[in-house]
Amino acid sequence: MLNHAEALNELGRTQDALVSLNKVRARAKLPNVTVTDQVALRNIIREERKVELAFEGHRLWDLRRWKTAVETLNGKRMHGTRITRNENSWTYETVECDNQNRIFKEGYYKLPVPQSEIDNNPLCKQTPLW
C-alpha cells in the first residue's frame, strides 16, 4: 500500500495516494492524513515508510531510490537501544553502534558491476565512481 501511495503521489494523483496511505494508517488506528500538496505528502509517505517498515531492511534501499542517502546518512552515527529487564520493570539505554561517522558516497547510489563480469567481457566497464 505504501508503494502504491508513493507511486500515485509521484504521478501527481495525491487524492488517490491519500486513499492508499490512509488504509495503512487506519490499520494502526492512526488519524487520516488530509494534506493535498504533493511535496508535503511525499515527506509524509517517506516518514510513514520509515516507521511502518522499520527493521524490515527497506530503509537503505528507500534512501538510495529517493537519492537522499548522502544528506540523510553522512556524518551520522547509528544508535541502538539496550533493553534490560529488572524484577518488575524494564530499562532502556541508548547505545552507540558505530565507532565513526557514516559515509555514503554518490557512487553508492548505483551498484558496482561484479569484477568477474568485467573479466569475462572486456567491453564491460565498471559503474562510474566505483
Q: Per residue of the chain (130 residues), give pLDDT as tens.
A: 999 999 999 999 999 999 999 999 999 999 999 999 999 999 999 999 999 999 899 999 999 999 999 999 999 998 899 999 999 999 999 999 988 999 999 999 999 999 999 999 999 999 998 8
Contact between 9 and 29 (Cβ < 8 Å): no
Contact between 21 and 33 (Cβ < 8 Å): yes
> In this structure, what C-alpha cell is assigned to residue 115?
569484477
> In this structure, what C-alpha cell is assigned to residue 36?
493535498
Which DSSP state fits 109? G
Picking from 12, 1, 72, 67, the residue whose alpha carbon sits closest to that of residue 42 is 12
> In this structure, what C-alpha cell is assigned to residue 18?
491519500
- The whole-angstrom separation of Cα 86 and Cα 100 is 32
Contacts of 22 (CB under 8 A, 6+ apart): 32, 33
